[in-house]
Chain A
Amino acid sequence: MRYKSQSVAYWYFAVALVLFGLQLVFGLLSATKYLGPDPLLYILPFDVTKVIHTNLLIVWVLTGFMGATYWLVPDESRTELHSTKLAYVQLILWTGMGVAAVIGYLFRYGTGNKLLEQPLPHKLVMVVCFLIFIYNIGMTIKKSGRFTTTEGVLVLGIVSSAVLFFPALLYYENYTVSIFYRWWTIHLWVEGVWMMIMGAFLAYLLIRLSGADREVMEKWLYVIVGLVFLAGILGTAHHYYWVGVPHYWLPIGGFFSALEPLAIVGMAIYAYGAMRRSGMSHPNVLALHWTLGSTIFTLFGAGLLGLAHTWPSINKWTHGTLITAMHGHAAFYGAYAMITLAMISYAQPSLTQGRPEKGTSIGYWAFWLQLGGMFGMTISFATAGIGQVYLERIMGMGYLDAQLKIQIHFVMLIICGTIFATGVALFIYDFFRYRPRFDVDEPAAEGSTASDARVS
């Protein structure tokens, strides 16, 4: 690393990876409950393992985003962070909030509102963390006077994430209205502003890994952001199917969510094009795997599998079945887990001591086992979901009886989930087996490389 303060990213990544590991424990537990009977019915029932599984996902991905941002901003703005102390305070508050939330869920302390289960005090701590984060990043950039487009997209993504959290703090008397605003937070995060954050990370990685021309990369970053919002904002409508809102949301949801893959295709072409044009000469080949892998898996999970059930006349049969779980797992993993792992892989040779730049063989095993495992999990959910839709929704078989007929797919799910978890365990082991480094390993380059030259 070029700046000493970038080492705060190490601790963010460390926390993120531990929580990632924990998320999988609860994921696997949830999966085995589909086979049943459940010996933990009164100790750790499904609703508890499931809420912890999804909440840990949100917390660890955001932790990873924060760490990656603290790594990226000094590089882009060519300066030390405004305050490493604030960054550590933020991490401690954030982690404390996450751990407290998980422990609370074990005792059923939560709001029971899907994906926004965090109790109000926890939500307020999250707001405080967002504010510290935005302040710290803002001051760093302001002090340096150097503000790149990549950074601009990233900061706008982070600020919008905080703003969109606001509807989640309010109370709604009408259940339908509360659903309406839940998706302002969740959908506009994952299919809006987090896409900006992902796009910014992608641009950063591609500029550095492929040495592609910054001007060209940042121009296309704008185009991608435009496409994301054009489709993503009105695409919120696909969460408004069948929940008691006006009927016009159906065709709007169908049309604009069909457009959503455009931005994702754009991203994949963007990454592939950069690699084609400028070669894959960067020594950190592992980070290249994760970067390209992320765009391709996003195309598959978010783009293709999202499109598969987003049209209203299809969705009316698949809505609320395991088809949604199929799309959710592949999309979240491809877009957000993998881009975070890409940033970690890119940064870790200089965050730790003695690690080979091109990655270790354990690192490659981790990559391929995760990819294979997640692909298998997606197929398991898909086959289970297709069975469920035909038996339960179309043939009219009762839910419980239909679930018995698709048991074999849950066996497949657990096997693939285990392969995936092995890959994640290897990634975590590979991360922690080298000691962290807290000094600068390459000189801060004042306007050195051509790819770094543009300042907007």
Chain B
Amino acid sequence: MNNRQARIFAWGSTIAAAVIFLGLTLDSHRQFPNLTNAENITPEVTHGKDVWHKYNCINCHTLFGEGAYYAPDLTKITQHRSEAYLHAYMRDPGSFYDEQRHRRLMPQQNLSEEEIVNLVKFLDWVANVDNQGWPPRPILVTGGFTAGPGSSGAGQPVPVQSSSTSVGVRPVDAGDDIRALGENVFRTAMPTCVACHSLAPGADGAGPSLAGIVRRTEALLASGNYQGQASDVEGYLREAIVDPSAHLNTGGMYSANGVSFMPDTYGESLSEEEIEQLVAFLTTLK
């Protein structure tokens, strides 16, 4: 290769790459509105984005996996935590996490109520962007998946409601035992149950561990402290799923102002059959 050929190679490859890149950029602009649900970018969402920028969130957290690696990824956080929880968390992070235990803590940001509400709206917009199915499994803030009965050595994840399915999900079909179907609901429902609830005794996350839920419920129903409508364990579990605030369990970690942090959307997002299956699964957790 002589000097002239080398020069032609340099210019040729640069121009070719640039032309392709610009063409794809144009096509991307054509697709952005659809992929990002641009019609949902309301003034509140835009304000929430400005809040995200103003408080320099990205230099600890990641969004779409981009940012700093000092704090959890928040891409799908609104699918893991209810609005009520996120609002309460933003008012005072220190009441939810202990710096001595986790060795780091988010500083109190002193956001106004409007900023908090719009920030969560922005994060909810982010969670619904079509980002090529990432993350492949939910990225949790704390706690984790614990292998439940029957999930050991399990096969492929089954996409039920979302491409973001969880780990250790055994494939099921309609003819399976109702409890197996219920476990599948537990591991695949959105917002993700396992993002807050573990099945390991004592391993409380953003929600209490569900290990021993049956025994605890029996004790609660017998104690007279119960405030809800249910009369038996199944009824209690069903009520807890569709109307989490009917009976509030313990302390400021799980509720504020008489409202549970658990999403109250399962009554709509799950079918009657799925709720029945889920209850059947939960009643196995003696």
Question: Which residues in A have some Cβ–Cβ distance to B below 8 Å?
Answer: 30, 33-38, 41-42, 45-48, 50-51, 108, 110-114, 117, 173-177, 179-180, 215, 218-220, 222-223, 225-227, 229-234, 236, 241-250, 252, 316-317, 319-322, 324-325, 392-401, 403-404, 407
Chain A binding surface, main DSSP class? helix
Given contacts A229-B18, A320-B69, 19 further A-B contacts (CB under 8 A): A33-B70, A41-B107, A47-B60, A108-B56, A110-B56, A112-B54, A113-B53, A114-B66, A173-B46, A176-B35, A177-B32, A179-B66, A215-B3, A225-B14, A230-B14, A244-B35, A397-B145, A399-B72, A404-B103
Contact A322 B69 (CB under 8 A): yes
Binary interface encoding of chain B residues 29-45 relative to chain A, with 1 for a CB under 8 A from any of its CBs, else 0: 10110011010010000
Whole-angstrom CA separation of A32 from B126 in the bound complex? 31
Contact B103 A223 (CB under 8 A): no
> What residues on B are CB-neighbors of A114 within 8 Å?
58-59, 66-67
Any A CB within 8 A of the CB of B20: yes
Residue of A nearest to B205 (CB): A398
> What residues on B are CB-neighbors of A403 within 8 Å?
102-104
8 residue pairs from A and B, CB less than 8 Å apart: A114-B58, A174-B36, A219-B1, A222-B9, A227-B13, A234-B21, A245-B32, A400-B97
Task: Tell me, rounded to whole Å, the shortest Cβ–Cβ distance linking B190 to chain A.
Answer: 16
Contact A236 B134 (CB under 8 A): no
Whole-angstrom CA separation of A226 from B49 in the bound complex? 39
Contact B139 A399 (CB under 8 A): yes
> What residues on B are CB-neighbors of A33 within 8 Å?
70, 104
Contact B132 A247 (CB under 8 A): yes
Binary interface encoding of chain B residues 111-140 relative to chain A, with 1 for a CB under 8 A from any of its CBs, else 0: 000000000001001100111101111111
Contact A246 B31 (CB under 8 A): yes
Contact A399 B130 (CB under 8 A): no
Whole-angstrom CA separation of A170 from B185 in the bound complex? 45
Of the candidates A222, A243, A245, A401, which one forms a contact with B7 in the assembled complex, judged by CB atoms under 8 Å apart?
Answer: A222
Of the candidates B9, B100, B136, which one forms a contact with A223 in the assembled complex, judged by CB atoms under 8 Å apart?
Answer: B9
Task: Tell me, rounded to whole Å, the shortest Cβ–Cβ distance linking A305 to chain B.
Answer: 16
In the A-B complex, list the 5 residue pairs whose CB atoms are closest, starting with the nearest. A320-B65, A112-B53, A36-B103, A242-B134, A47-B59
> What residues on A are CB-neighbors of B49 within 8 Å?
175
Contact A35 B103 (CB under 8 A): yes
> What residues on B are CB-neighbors of A37 within 8 Å?
99-100, 103-105
Contact B6 A229 (CB under 8 A): no
Any A CB within 8 A of the CB of B154: no
Contact B65 A398 (CB under 8 A): no
Given known A-B contacts A320-B62, A396-B145, A246 and B72 have beta carbons under 8 A apart: no
Whole-angstrom CA separation of A40 from B122 in the bound complex? 29
Of the candidates B20, B28, B142, B144, which one forms a contact with A180 in the assembled complex, judged by CB atoms under 8 Å apart?
Answer: B28
Q: Which of B1-30 contact A (CB under 8 A)?
A: 1-3, 6-7, 9-14, 16-18, 20-21, 24-25, 27-29
